Amino acid sequence: MPTKDKSKKQDTVTIHDQKLVRGNGGELHQIADETTDVLTTAHGVPISDDQNTLKSGARGPTLIEDFHFREKIFHFDHERIPERVVHARGYGAHGYFETYDALAKYTRADIFQRPGEKTPAFVRFSTVAGSKGSFDLARDVRGFAVKLYTQEGNWDLVGNNIPVFFIQDAIKFPDVIHSVKPEPDRGFPQAQSAHDNFWDFISLTPESMHMVMWVMSDRAIPRSFRFMEGFGVHTFRLLDADDNSTFVKFIWKPKLGLQSVVWNEAVKINGADPDFHRRDLWDAIQAGDFPEWELCVQLFDQEFADSFDFDILDPTKLIPEDIIEPIPVGRLVLDRMPDNFFAETEQVAFMTQNVPPGIDFSNDPLLQGRNFSYLDTQIKRLGSTNFTHLPINAPKCPFHTLQQDGHMAMRNPVGRVNYQPNSWEDGPRQDPKKGFRSYADEVEGPKVRLRAESFADHYSQARQFFVSQTVHEQDHIARALTFELSKVETPVIRERMISHLLNIDEGLAETVADKLGITQLPKPADAAITPRDDLPASDALSIIKNGPKSFKGRKVGVLLSDGCDAALVKKLEAAIKKEGAMMEIIAPKIGGVTADDGSLIPAKQMIDGGPSVLYDAVAIIISPEGAEQLAKEATARDFVADAFAHCKFIGHVDAAQPLLDKAGIEPDEGIMQMASAADMTAFIEACRDLRLWAREPKVKL
Ligand code: HDD
């Protein structure tokens, strides 16, 4: 007999005769009146039977008169809204932004005025190409959209986990997106760029080369949303109280450091747990392990802009952190999951044009186009100009518009005043001092459709990115390009890509060509500007060089069997906990195992459901009998073999050796003995490196 969850007592208020419930974060949601235990229709009529339609006789036809059935099915039939045309698959969380020092010298933006002040935030992470139900670990850009509910209006910083973009002008957006989405005649492949249309477009679009290097790197297969950076991409402006402008680029830096998976792991994770990223965020927040990012700004003036090697309006270029150091100005903490996925994560509407006073746009042609596009898409998706009435989109500061009516208007004005100017004393007034002002940029020039010549160098920063990577990361880029182009069926497209790679790095072009069986190298692609090879390597561009300093927030998969050493399991648990990491137990049966001291240790996963790709490191604490049994099982052998192939640290008891042997493990310093508490500490300390990259040449990832 189900019991009522008394802990979930709802805090309700009544506004305009409407009952609203307060969510965990204080925001108000509409609800049915839950004071009644009786199931009702949407119009409040109590229902006597929700199991059977109204029929003429028990075996007779259903009667059209059954209004309850009609309403129920009608509503169900309309449950879906259009998914986002891009970034359809996403996952959101609430939190807050905490300002460090006042930035009044640069901006009048209210959010940056008072040190220590907290501003509510909602963040939605996403993949770009796949549909809403696609898998999490596609090779793809990740969206990193942040809505900051400031006291002077919502500020949406709608960024990605990559600091540059495929195209320089927004007019090309439908083309790049069409090319990566499933091909229109066949309707596949889903959530993948490894197909002819994408590489055809890319190989005909040299401006995309820098972005392509990022997308072929491990940045496009992050281990977790929690371990990736976010970038506002474009150059924006900060305006002080006198409207003086400073250019700015925004960067989110994860406190837990950067981490990605490897491609072979990604492919397997997608099968084992297609929700890997959303589950990771959910688990971390539910466990109270709140992820944090620092918001950093790169500030510069017109003089720097004029002297920089590239155009600061070109969204295919970044400003290396060695040239302008990012300054931390606050932190973002995600500490609460939405009460309802649809109401919040699905209905949240981000728009680049949502900026508060003190923040302004630059003339980046991609940003200008985005400012035009995002409003349209909200109307299409949410169906009404009143999408700002939804609690997730409404400002949390005082606001007062003279807009009225429209579909589903929920916030209806009271009183007589709905126009401006007016003679009545009530009603809002414009305020030149407090209100949003644009930077008074001098604009002139003929009306033309032209790409600025200062946007013409498409290869130099692509090369800089490549040479900034460790050898392991360079190898992954070569392998990713090979994999993607191996799925392209038209030889000329592959060759065209090699001709671009020759302008980026000859060695890379030769490796990929060789793996694709292209014996005769094509000529390098024509370049409007000779690619530079003098841009220095920048450590900030590598993931491995920016990994964590601890194993905090990571997860160890611990394989146990009956008869395992209970004391050792406890010691491992203590070492993991001390590091701030998580542990998940995997066993031959979901019921768990009976340890050597007779205690029952429950398991979270059965070996078939908990492959090692789901963990950052693995430990094997099994008995000799357990080892003998598990060595016969393919899933257990894969558990170990995959952890080895993915360069993970493996801690094990002596008794596990038969399983390790059967899995083909060759000893190295990442395969660690576990016999004492000191061994456990040594194991967890080794895990801080996340992977034993020195093993990679042996396993050939
Ligand atoms: Fe966009 C969604 C990020 C270029 C048009 N975009 C969308 C989202 C993110 C980005 C994170 C998902 C927001 C959410 O979670 O709801 N988009 C970017 C970045 C870009 C970019 C970082 C380049 C620097 N986008 C871009 C261009 C256009 C669009 C050039 C059109 C001219 N983007 C859209 C859109 C979407 C969108 C069609 C789909 C759903 C939505 O807006 O709300 O309007």
pLDDT, one tens digit per residue, over 118-168 is 999 999 999 999 999 999 999 999 999 999 999 999 999 999 999 999 999
pLDDT attached to residue 74: 97
Distance CA 222, CA 262 (A): 9
240-259 burial code (b ≥16 CB/10 A, e <16): beeeebbbbbbbbbbbbbbb
Where in the sequence of the chain do the CATH 4.10.91.20 domains occur?
Answer: 39-79
Q: Which superfamily does CATH assign the domain made up of 553-699 to?
A: Class I glutamine amidotransferase (GATase) domain (3.40.50.880)
Q: Which residue, 640, 644, 659, is CA-closest to 692?
A: 644
pLDDT band for position 8 (cuts 50, 70, 90): very low
The bridge status of strand 593-594 relative to strand 600-601 is antiparallel
8 A C-beta contact, residue 601 and residue 585: yes
CATH number for the domain formed by residue range(s) 90-389: 2.40.180.10
Where in the sequence of the chain do the CATH 1.20.1370.20 domains occur?
Answer: 459-544
pLDDT tens digits for range 167-198: 999 999 999 999 999 999 999 999 999 999 99
Q: What are 18's strand-pairing partners? A: 15
Does 163 contact ligand 1 (Cβ within 6 A)? no
Q: Among residues 87, 234, 476, 500, which one is catalytic?
A: 87
What ligand 1 atom has the least distance to the C-alpha of 315?
24
Is-catalytic flag, 43?
no
Does 93 contact ligand 1 (Cβ within 6 A)? no
Q: Which residue, 104, 208, 121, is CA-closest to 157?
A: 121
Residue carrying the six token digits 């190989």:
203
Does 173 contact ligand 1 (Cβ within 6 A)? yes
Q: How far is CA 200 from CA 31, 78, 489, 492, 519, in A?
A: 50, 38, 11, 9, 21
pLDDT tens digits for range 202-217: 999 999 999 999 999 9
Residue 661 pLDDT greater than 50, yes or no: yes
Does 143 contact ligand 1 (Cβ within 6 A)? yes
> What 3-state class would DSSP assign to 290?
coil
Q: Which two tokens stand for residue 6?
A: 């008394």
Q: Is the pTM of this model over 0.80?
A: yes
Cα 127 to ligand 1 centroid, rounded to whole Å: 11
pLDDT tens digits for range 95-112: 999 999 999 999 999 999
As its CATH architecture, domain 39-79 has Irregular (4.10)
Q: Which residue, 554, 555, 583, is CA-closest to 568?
A: 583
Where in the sequence of the chain do the CATH 3.40.50.880 domains occur?
Answer: 553-699
pLDDT band for position 425 (cuts 50, 70, 90): confident
Residues found in the chain: 701
pLDDT band for position 29 (cuts 50, 70, 90): low
pLDDT tens digits for range 331-379: 999 999 999 999 999 999 999 999 999 999 999 999 999 999 999 999 9
CATH number for the domain formed by residue range(s) 459-544: 1.20.1370.20
Cα 7 to ligand 1 centroid, rounded to whole Å: 39
Mutate to test the pocket of ligand 1, among 147, 228, 350, 376 (most ligand atoms within 8 A of CB): 350
Cα 86 to ligand 1 centroid, rounded to whole Å: 7
Q: Among residues 94, 154, 160, 234, which one is catalytic?
A: 160
pLDDT attached to residue 2: 40
Which residue ranges are tagged as binding site for heme? 84, 124, 173, 370, 374, 381
Q: Note if the bond before 428 is cis, omega within 30 degrees.
A: no
Residue 18 pLDDT greater than 70, yes or no: no
Does 469 contact ligand 1 (Cβ within 6 A)? no
Number of neighbours of residue 80 by Cβ within 10 angstroms: 10
Where in the sequence of the chain do the CATH 2.40.180.10 domains occur?
Answer: 90-389
Q: What are 127's strand-pairing partners? A: 142
Is-catalytic flag, 87?
yes
The bridge status of strand 153-160 relative to strand 28-30 is unpaired
Number of neighbours of residue 554 by Cβ within 10 angstroms: 25
